Amino acid sequence: MNFSGPQFLAETCQACTIRNRAICADLDPQEITLLNSIGRQRELVAGEHLLWEGDEAVLVGNVVEGMLKLSSGTSDGREQIVGLVYPSDFIGRPFGATTPYGAEALTDAKVCVFQRKDFDAFAQEHPRLEHKLLERTLTELDRTRRWMVLLGRMDAEQKLASLLLEFDDRLGASLRANTETETFELPIGRQQIADVLGLTIETISRQFSRMKKAGVVALPSRREVTILDRPTLKSLAG
């Protein structure tokens, strides 16, 4: 775990790769400076928790690098993954008393974090940020609905095809190993993919083999995927 202060955050903000997609995208330079004064950049290692379900809502944050999973505990003690978080996504519950889900790093990650009370006060004084928060809340609601369908109604083939398309859509060029083809490196390993989708690693491997045999994807290595037939992959995703 590592924290960096406001001055460091201000300097890195100028070169931030997700600046035009983040929650602060519509803020002017003066507003960015004010926001930086209440923020910190935190580095997470894979497996480290940022938020715990049910805890007091102390932090909110914007993901800069890496991936996190959002999860909730079931009544019998099992973990239910309720979504994935990518660079530029906002996490935490502004204007809320408790955190509705846990957030754990799937990969090494960087997050700009803010004390929730400080962030709430800033948002109330800056309507453009409040508007962005509303947009993000509605987008998150749509993604949650799609995730419920993904885990609850899709078969293994549909789940994996949907996740591959989501990786390509959400991470795009940052995953691309070859700009001349649709080859990208999986951001997480096959075991993690299995865990995220509620499947076994054997099932994931079988589905990859079937897609490869059908000419939908190529697998240059265990962590690389080349999309050969995007229309068919979309069809498989349902």
| Final residue before a domain boundary, out of 136, 152, 168 | 152
- Written as one letter, the residue type at 54 is G
At residue 131, the pLDDT reads: 79
Answer yes or no: do 132 and 78 share one domain: yes
pLDDT reported for residue 81: 83
Is there a single domain that holds both residue 71 and residue 169? Answer: no
pLDDT for residue 142:
74
Structure confidence at residue 135 (pLDDT): 79
pLDDT value for 174: 61
| Final residue in a domain of this structure, among 91, 120, 152 | 152
Which positions of the chain have pLDDT values less than 50?
none
Q: What pLDDT score was predicted for residue 234?
A: 93
pLDDT for position 103: 94
